[in-house]
Amino acid sequence: MIEAGLKNELQKQGVYVTTLEDLYNWGRANSVWPLTFGLACCAIEMIAASMSRYDLARFGAEVFRPSPRQADLMIVAGTVTKKMAPLVVRLYNQMPEAKYVIAMGACAISGGPFKQGYNVLKGIDRYLPVDVSIPGCPPRPEALIHAIMTLQEKILNQKLTGPDRPRHLNADVPGEFPVPAYGEHDLEPSKNPEVWQPPIMTRK
Amino acid sequence: MQTNTYLVLVLLMLAAVGFAAAPLAMAWAWAKFYSPQKPGKDKNAIYECGLESKGDAWIHFRSEYYLYGIIFLVFDVETIFLLPFAVSFAGLPVGAFVAMIVFLLLLVEGLVWAWRKGMLTWN
């Protein structure tokens, strides 16, 4: 590993040094291909972000893939109903490693304004490991761009060895997450305990 | 010499084939030795729309369907030949005109046959 100060000093002299890890992560971070799918109104903002006015292409993330087999990133854009949740999890399972999830908007994070509804999932993080959450109802395209930049930062800072290495280099992390089934009253199971645990409230 | 000029062509062709094959071979080698293989039930599923596939792909088609196929063909072929016929109608010799009318009558005969068989009535 090269020292940051030495790297700076060399750069001033016109010598650029890097590590294989940095190069690898730089390539991964600048070619994050999202999966084409929108669930509700947040998807409209996602579409706007990919169009010319906001131009997601500047971040290498404009290639919305129509097949999960070619996608790196799942943008859960909108309200996840309980009817839709198994499909979302199944699509995530079909994506190749390394895969990332952005929960876009209040609904995808927590159910949002429909949290009290009987048919709305109270956050996709109950089933999937969410990397970046964007609050907002709906978040503006700039917020999505910020989320992509946050994700890029996360990818750039990932070490390729050690316990925090990315999913695709870690043989122990699961390749597939259990798909919930339609139960009598709720999805079964109602959460994936390996991914999400209900917050413990302590009352004083 | 004549053979030498062809040798250059062969070399160029080999280079072209190599240029096309090398990335494919590299992609294959990368997938074989480095890619993280995590197959599973969902990942190996055929469809990619999030839903599970239902039923059997080996379903029966009713054999009566051939009649609809034939009637479609009558109109389809007629349209394809009528358009150039209409465009060059003014400059056609009598022989070509008669041949075209005979052809049209053949198609109309097929239509009359289907009509009398009751194929055009909805049931």
Facing residue for A179 by CB, picked from B36, B42, B49: B42
A168 to B45: CB separation less than 8 angstroms, yes or no? no
Q: Which string of DSSP letters, residue by residue, matches A134-199?
A: E-SSSPPHHHHHHHHHHHHHHHHT--SSSTT--GGG-TTS-SS-PPPEE-SSSEESSS-TTT--PP
Amino acid of residue B19: F
Nearest CA in chain A to B41: A176
Is residue A149 predicted with pLDDT exceeding 90? yes
B38 to A91: CB separation less than 8 angstroms, yes or no? no
Q: How far apart, in whole angstroms, are the C-alpha atoms of residue A155 and residue A32? A: 10
Place of tokens 């590993």: A1
pLDDT band at residue B3 under the 50/70/90 scheme: low
- Do A155 and A59 touch, CB atoms closer than 8 A? no
A175 to B38: CB separation less than 8 angstroms, yes or no? yes
Dihedral angle computed from the Cα positions of residues B37, B42, B44 and B49, in that order, rounded to the nearest 10 degrees: -120
A residues 87-106 closer than 8 Å to B (CB): 87-88, 90-91, 93-94, 96-98
Residue B62's pLDDT is: 80
Q: Under DSSP, is residue A103 helix (H, G, I), strand (E, B) or coil? A: strand
Domain boundaries, chain A: 33-151
Residue A38's pLDDT is: 92
| Residue A169 at interface with chain B, using a CB cutoff of 8 Å | yes
- Do A105 and A134 touch, CB atoms closer than 8 A? yes
B50 to A87: CB separation less than 8 angstroms, yes or no? yes
- Do A40 and A137 touch, CB atoms closer than 8 A? no
> How many C-beta atoms surround the C-beta of residue B46 within 10 A?
7
Q: How far apart, in whole angstroms, are the C-alpha atoms of residue B48 and residue B89? A: 52
Write out pLDDT tens, residues B97-118. Answer: 999 999 999 989 988 988 898 8
Residue A167's pLDDT is: 85
Residue A29's pLDDT is: 94
| Residue A69 at interface with chain B, using a CB cutoff of 8 Å | yes
A93 to B48: CB separation less than 8 angstroms, yes or no? no
Residue B38's pLDDT is: 83
Residue A76's pLDDT is: 95
The rounded mean pLDDT for chain A is 91
Report which of residues A48 and B65 the model is more confident about: A48
Residue A4's pLDDT is: 81
pLDDT band at residue B10 under the 50/70/90 scheme: very high
Domain A33-151 has CATH 3.40.718.10: no
Residue A169's pLDDT is: 84
The rounded mean pLDDT for chain B is 87
Facing residue for A168 by CB, picked from B36, B49, B50: B36
Place of tokens 């999830």: A101
**Mean per-residue pLDDT for A98-116?**
93
User: How many helices and strands (H and E) does chain A possess?
Assistant: 6, 5
Write out pLDDT tens, residues A27-44. Answer: 999 999 999 999 999 999
User: Which chain B residues are within 8 Å of A68, Cβ to Cβ?
Assistant: 48
Residue A42's pLDDT is: 93
Place of tokens 């190749």: A96
Judging by DSSP bridges, how do beta strands A100-104 and A73-77 pair with one another? parallel
B36 to A94: CB separation less than 8 angstroms, yes or no? no
| Residue A67 at interface with chain B, using a CB cutoff of 8 Å | yes
| Residue A115 at interface with chain B, using a CB cutoff of 8 Å | no
- Its sign, for the CA torsion B15, B17, B18, B19, is positive
SS in 3 state form for chain B?
A: CHHHHHHHHHHHHHHHHHHHHHHHHHHHHHHHHCCCCCCCCCCCCCCCCCCCCCCCCCCCCCCCHHHHHHHHHHHHHHHHHHHHHHHCCCCCCHHHHHHHHHHHHHHHHHHHHHHHCCCCCCC
Is residue A71 predicted with pLDDT exceeding 90? yes
Facing residue for A175 by CB, picked from B43, B49, B51: B43
pLDDT band at residue A172 under the 50/70/90 scheme: confident
Report which of residues A173 and A34 the model is more confident about: A34
- Its sign, for the CA torsion B55, B57, B58, B64, is positive
Residue B1's pLDDT is: 54
Is residue B61 predicted with pLDDT exceeding 90? no
Smallest CA–CA distance, residue A96 to chain B, in Å, is 8
**Mean per-residue pLDDT for A60-73?**
92
pLDDT band at residue A1 under the 50/70/90 scheme: low
